[in-house]
Chain A
């Protein structure tokens, strides 16, 4: 039931598939549709390669290997998550564009002009993939790290006794075992890629998302735009099904729960150096460089500065993020338990559907929320007028209720994936054992599941928290009067091409986002210690 309610906006989008959109489609097919499809696929491919390379390698290195700086990288590698994708795109453009300081310096040194030398074009599809990969790899890092840390030491020990070195253990044992977690992280990153509008729009890359808005705003055809969104959803759905089929009946539960203190692979000097370079590279390009550029702008050229209204912005952002993350976690728990316990086909389907909101551009979701809410309000109002001759106006539309509902629709996938990944580690046999000892279901949850799930629950909570903090399109369109957030402030200035002025708000998002990120990393590490104790 709950899942169905949350699926309403998604279903609403899908329902447009059956609405005639006129001959716009033939125009799209003749001209731009091919570009949209190819560019979106290329972008996904690029981001997939990027996040897998960065995320899995750093996760393995920080959880299983010992090298100088490891304990810092453990949490620092999560920092890029606090930077909204379009902000990192702005900072890289500011630095590496033709008119930016780096290329200008090159031209000054060498006396070259335009066309005399080659320099990677940052505002290209490759650039967009790089930007997105840099801020999205933490999803893969986070989930695969949790998986590596959660792997029974026995399995790894067996691998070692069989004479496998770190490489073979990684490729033949740890990696396949961590596959559900890696795939979960990857799918989050790819869904976010599909939903991204800010980055691709700024880079002039036509993808499905830019196409949706071009069709809607430019061609003034909402039906065709919704149909493009629906197509996007079908693609995501197909991807999810494909993954499910390829995994088939394979289960990834560990058969042993012996989690002894982990002996990390001790890397030699050369290996340590490589590990250090990989981790610091991800950290530098994903966080230090863009955050540094923001700080530089804030200190030198910004005309906007911190003022008293910032307190309000921070409070609003924190409140929304807090409320949405707690609710999303509760919902995810509720749904995944429902799925685990009931497992009926309709439940599974509704849960899947509800989780797909993540791949749809925020604006489209927001409209999907707005229409039913307004319809409900207006129906209620009409009914009241008819019954009592009295008008209630709009009850829910334009309130925080509608906004938080939209966050839930959009970010449920994040908490759901994380909680499900956590629940997946709890073998059904454990429930059965506990039950055979006469433990009630409530107690099973409290005494068995909660301790084992703690890490996943925290992860789910904090991921959604940071996501809501950065969220823009739904906030923009659904918020009540006189209600601004940090993301709204940053966007308003940035979209007016005043990047430097946006830097204060953007930096504040980053700073506010860092705290939960560090907290998150602590929890995960500690959950491992608790188990190994």
Chain B
């Protein structure tokens, strides 16, 4: 090791780092599991209105969380956005988030869609109802997720693999409602109802149902919305053959999840991050989610638009979404045991 005096070493280091010490402009640094296409337009609007620049890295939620964790207190990230509550809870559990105690935010976001301590707030609601092929299924015969194991639906159901977080959250919500044992019994029976081994994404289930492979698909509504408004005639036609059935309306309500945001513990631009959070919850941004990606606004006072309203009012499962994060590992194991590929 060279014995350089401290000033020289400092000087050397400074020349290295100088570029990263540019003038402090107003910024928010964002790690986002939402795809660029579905967040950038809002961020641009935010910068325009506030003069605060947003630096963005997109990626998979778990990888971004890992990055946040290993960067520790020096992380440049001020905010993390994910597309499901489970990951937000995981970030909180990993100790990389901080509480934002804002009366405004608490008033805007319903209680079940935010962390009790204010570590994260939901931004948009994603619902996972039962979709059925019009004319082949009498919606009056449908009732709950649980009832999908009726012999009536044998070999008639399409759903994607259990590797997907949407199914993991759905099963986690069922564990919360019915207990682990009952849910496992259900899952074992449910797997036998599949018209084919799970493969592909949610859109694939909708296409398969439209093509006649199955009569019922379980999929998130925004995929259906995306297909209905697609430029591709085939996608529009396929989606047009299906209708939405809101399950469990007599009970806890249809399964929902949220995309949401959390301010990091090490945030050096905390105030700007909170401004962004508030911006993402303003009526215009909330309506944007509905129009652009067919997701429901998290705020009850914002209208979701014509297409989404067309599916009718429905009751949402009021389970605090933190539970989805807590029960996620249990859900995965349960599905492993049930042989849900």
Contacts and interface: CB of A to CB of B under 8 A. Distances in A.
Interface of A: 27, 30-32, 93, 97-99, 103-104, 107, 113-114, 123, 201-204, 206, 210, 213-214, 216-222, 300-303, 363, 366-367, 370-371, 374-375, 377-378, 381, 384, 387-388, 390-395, 397-398, 473, 476-484, 488, 492-493, 495-498, 500
B226 interface: yes
Interface in B43-71: 55-60, 62-64, 66-67, 70-71
B163 A210 contact: yes
Interface centre among B16, B199, B203, B341 (most CB of A within 10 A): B199
Contacts of B337: 30-31
A114 B163 contact: no
Contact of A363 (B38, B56, B63, B76): B63
Interface centre among A204, A388, A397 (most CB of B within 10 A): A204
A301 B10 contact: no
A178 to B, nearest CB: 38
B199 A99 contact: no
Contact of B17 (A104, A113, A392): A392
Contacts of A114: 195, 211-213
A495 B212 CA distance: 25
A96 to B, nearest CB: 13
A301 B17 CA distance: 47
A477 B60 contact: yes
Contacts of B75: 394
B336 A31 contact: yes
B265 to A, nearest CB: 14
A98 B168 contact: no
Contact of B74 (A204, A210, A216, A393): A393
B252 interface: no
Contacts of A27: 333, 336
Nearest to A393: B74
6 contacts: A98-B211, A219-B329, A398-B76, A476-B58, A477-B64, A496-B35
A500 B232 contact: yes
Contacts of B60: 363, 476-477
A370 B67 contact: yes
A268 to B, nearest CB: 46
Contact of B70 (A98, A104, A371): A371
B161 interface: yes
Interface centre among B63, B165, B212, B332 (most CB of A within 10 A): B63
Given A123-B200, A217-B62, A218-B332, A201 B70 contact: no
Contacts of A495: 35
Given A99-B238, A480-B57, A394 B74 contact: yes
B198 interface: yes
A377 B16 CA distance: 13
Given A301-B232, A492-B36, A204 B161 contact: yes
Contacts of B329: 218-221
B97 interface: no
B116 interface: no
Interface in B9-50: 10, 13, 16-17, 20, 29, 35-38
A107 B212 CA distance: 11
Q: Is the interface of B mostly helix, strand, loop or mixed?
A: helix
B341 A476 contact: no
B295 interface: no
Contact of A370 (B57, B66, B333): B66
Given A220-B90, A480-B57, A496-B35, A377 B74 contact: yes
B328 interface: yes
Given A99-B204, A363-B60, A484-B36, 6 more contacts: A31-B337, A93-B204, A214-B332, A363-B63, A478-B67, A480-B57
Interface residues of B, number: 64
A31 B74 CA distance: 40
Given A363-B63, A481-B55, A99 B231 contact: no
Nearest to A367: B66
Given A482-B55, A493-B37, A374 B70 contact: yes
Contacts of B201: 202, 497
B319 to A, nearest CB: 19
B59 A384 contact: no
A105 to B, nearest CB: 12
Interface in B299-341: 328-329, 332-333, 336-337, 341
A303 B232 CA distance: 9
Contact of B198 (A99, A204, A220): A204
Given A31-B336, A201-B163, A388-B6, A218 B63 contact: no
Contacts of A113: 212
Nearest to A372: B70
Interface in B186-227: 195, 197-204, 207-208, 210-213, 223, 226
B67 A477 contact: yes
B173 to A, nearest CB: 15
Contacts of B20: 393, 395
A253 B17 CA distance: 51
B178 interface: no
A97 B55 contact: no
A424 B88 CA distance: 53
A158 to B, nearest CB: 53
Contacts of B282: none
A216 B35 contact: no
Contacts of B283: none
Contacts of B213: 98-99, 114
